[in-house]
Structure 1
Amino acid sequence: MLVGYARISDKTQKVDSQIDILKKAGCERIVEETITGISTKKTQLNHLLEELQEGDTLIVARADRLARRAIQVLEVCETLNKKEVNLVILDLGVDTRTPSGKMVLSIMASVAEWERDQLREKQRRGIEAARKRGKHLGRKKKHNDESMEAAIAAHQEGTKTVDEICRIYNVSRATLYRRVNERKLKSL
């Protein structure tokens, strides 16, 4: 069965052009949905993916109607592939029923992986640059250096419990133990 999926982001848009394209492609059934592409809760699409059976073909007019990013399209492809359901993305010329369509999909997968790698590299460089400028990364400290020194001193005195020290000096138990152990290692 040829099943079309048409999605618009909000009710101010019209789904008519997608439906016309899907009908022209021979879709026997068309599922429509009004939901933003960013949302991962595409209810109609999720139901459709569950319903499709081996040998069926899902057809969309454009890749961005299926998902926002290439990786999301590939996740849908993987779901369909496991069920032995074909996918046709009309604007890209992807038709997994053909060898060339499978090749285009493989190229998309490579590009998506490259994009992820590029983003990771860009993020890594940004983090390194921030560290070189002395920028503190991660969660903001709950304590200052003076309160940590006082907490370590109180721990070494042994007159208060760890819970009391953490509450009084506003330090976490894990950080206190980590700093106490660091001091022990430095003194060895």
Structure 2
Amino acid sequence: MIYSYDKHFYIGHARVITRDQNMDLQIDASNKVGCEIIFQEKISSKSKERPELIKLFEKLRKGETVLVRKLDRSRISRATC
């Protein structure tokens, strides 16, 4: 993917804590605002491993915006940042 810094770039993050849950509302919200990438995780809230969130932070560049529909879905701790 080619990044262009002459326009704003949005990255989405969607997360559910069980395999039975559905993240469609989170993905739809990210798509509506124009997210070009959406990182998706189905992982327990007890897990300290957050592979997709780590990938998101690695991809994030200056001037880009991360969109999270509900902050409780992301569960980003200070230690993670």
On whether the aligned pair clears a TM of 0.5, the verdict is yes
Question: What is the CA distance between 1:4 and its match in structure 2?
Answer: 0.2
Residue of structure 1 in register with 2:66 after alignment: 58
**1:120-131 paired onto structure 2 within 5 Å:** none
- Would you say 1:20 and 2:28 are equivalent positions? yes
Residue of structure 1 in register with 2:46 after alignment: 38
RMSD: 1.9
TM-score, L = length of structure 2 = 0.78
* Matched letter for residue 37 of structure 1: S
State the distance in 1 between where 2:43 and 2:32 align: 24
> For residues 140-159 of structure 1, what are the alpha-carbon distances to aligned partners after superposition, in whole Å with 9 as ceiling and x for unaligned?
xxxxxxxxxxxxxxxxxxxx
Considering Cα pairs closer than 8 Å and 6+ residues apart, tell me whether 1 or 2 has the greater RCO.
Answer: 2
Question: What is the CA distance between 1:17 and its match in structure 2?
Answer: 0.9
> Which protein is bigger by CA-based radius of gyration?
1
Residue of structure 1 in register with 2:13 after alignment: 5
State the distance in 1 between where 2:24 and 2:45 align: 18
Change (3 A) 1:64 1:38: farther
* Matched letter for residue 29 of structure 1: I
Structure 2 unaligned spans of 5+? 1-8
Identity percentage of aligned residues: 34
Question: What is the CA distance between 1:37 and its match in structure 2?
Answer: 2.4
TM-score, L = length of structure 1 = 0.36
State the distance in 1 between where 2:45 and 2:71 align: 11
> For residues 31-66 of structure 1, what are the alpha-carbon distances to aligned partners after superposition, in whole Å with 9 as ceiling and x for unaligned?
111102232211110111122111111110101111
Structure 1 unaligned spans of 5+? 80-188
- Select the structure that is richer in helix: 1
Number of corresponding residues: 73
Structure 1: 4+ residue segments shifted above 3 A: none
- Structure 2 counterpart SS, 1:36: coil
